[in-house]
A = this chain, B = another copy of it.
Amino acid sequence: MSLIKITDQPINTDELTKSLIHPEFGGIDIFIGNIRKFTDEIETEKIEYTTYKQMAEKEMQKLADQVLAKGMDVVMVHRVGELNLSDVAVFIGVAAPHRAEAFENCQFLIDQLKRTVPIWKKEYDRDKIRWGGLGE
Contact A25 B21 (CB under 8 A): no
Partner of A33, one of B26, B30, B34: B26
Grouping DSSP codes into helix (H, G, I), strand (E, B) and loop, the A interface class, with mixed when no group exceeds half, is mixed
Nearest CB of chain B from residue A22's CB, rounded to whole Å: 7
Nearest CB of chain B from residue A73's CB, rounded to whole Å: 12
Report how far A27 CA is from B14 CA in the complex, Å.
17
Report how far A37 CA is from B29 CA in the complex, Å.
18
**A110 part of interface (Cβ distance < 8 Å):** yes
**A17 part of interface (Cβ distance < 8 Å):** yes
Contacts of A18 in B (CB 8 A): 13
Contacts of A29 in B (CB 8 A): 29-32, 106
With most chain B CB atoms within 10 A of its CB, the pick from A30, A33, A110 is A30
Q: Beta-carbon contacts of A85-123 to B below 8 Å, as 1s and 0s?
A: 110100000000101001100110010000000000000
**A28 part of interface (Cβ distance < 8 Å):** yes
Contact B110 A99 (CB under 8 A): yes
Report how far A54 CA is from B29 CA in the complex, Å.
28
Would you give 8 A-B contacts (Cβ < 8 Å), ordered by A?
A: A21-B88, A23-B85, A23-B86, A24-B36, A26-B34, A30-B32, A31-B99, A31-B103
